[in-house]
């Protein structure tokens, strides 16, 4: 991540997800209603998807762009293709 703004956003989202995970653990320990736990899980997963999108956008806008400028884009393209393969599973 190049900019502090990007770092701050990702950090904030990860801390939110961590808080939700702590809440989920408490919900399970307290034997809360399964649907409530499931809804909280989906909300946490949505935050993590958003974090991943932010990280990948930063990577494309910084690392990949720099590799293209240097004429060394092949490795970065392969990395992105691998990530896309994982995301599509």
pLDDT tens by residue, 65-85: 999 999 989 999 999 999 999
Query: Taking the model in full, what pTM does it have?
Result: 0.85
Please report which confidence band the pLDDT of residue 1 belongs to, taking 50, 70 and 90 as the band edges: confident
Q: What is the spatial distance between Cα 80 and Cα 63, in angstroms, rounded to a whole number?
A: 11
**Could you tell me the fold of the domain covering 4-87?**
Methane Monooxygenase Hydroxylase; Chain G, domain 1 (1.20.58)
Mean pLDDT of 20-43: 98
Measured between alpha carbons, how far is 48 from 41 in angstroms, rounded to an integer? 11
Place of tokens 């399970």: 28
CB-CB contact of 40 with 23 (8 Å) = yes
What is the residue-wise DSSP string for 51-74? HHHHHHHHHIIIIIHHHHHHT--H
Q: For the chain, which residues make up each domain, given as ranges?
A: 4-87
């Amino acid at each position: 991540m190049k900019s502090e703004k990007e770092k701050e956003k990702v950090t904030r989202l990860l801390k939110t997800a961590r808080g939700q995970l702590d809440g989920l653990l408490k919900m399970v320990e307290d034997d809360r209603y399964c649907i409530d736990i499931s809804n909280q899980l989906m909300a946490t997963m949505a935050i993590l998807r958003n974090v991943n999108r932010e990280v990948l956008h930063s990577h494309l806008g910084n690392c990949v762009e720099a590799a293209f400028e240097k004429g060394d884009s092949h490795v970065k393209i392969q990395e992105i293709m691998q990530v896309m393969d994982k995301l599509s599973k």
